[in-house]
Amino acid sequence: MLSLLRIFFSLSLLAVSSHKGWFLAFYFSAVTSDVLDGMLARRWHCTSMLGSMLDSLGDAVLFLVLTILTLPKLLSIPFGIPIVASVVVLRCIVLLLTRRKTHHWMSIHTIANKCTGICILLCFPLVMLGFGSGVFLYGCCILSLLASSEELLILGKYDVYDPDRRSYFFA
**Helix H segments across 77-163?**
80-102, 111-128, 133-157
48-61: pLDDT as tens digits = 778 878 888 898 89
pLDDT score for 40:
86
The identity of residue 31, as a single letter, is V
pLDDT band at 130 (very low <50, low <70, confident <90, very high): confident
Distance of CA 13 to the CA centre of its chain: 15
Instruction: Tell me what percent of the residues of the chain surpass a pLDDT of 90.
Output: 37
105-121: pLDDT as tens digits = 888 889 999 899 889 88
Contact in structure between 65 and 11 (CB atoms under 8 Å): yes
Contact in structure between 51 and 39 (CB atoms under 8 Å): no
Contact in structure between 17 and 30 (CB atoms under 8 Å): no
Q: How far apart are CA 151 and CA 135, in angstroms?
A: 24
Alpha carbons within 13 angstroms on the beta-carbon side of residue 5 total 14
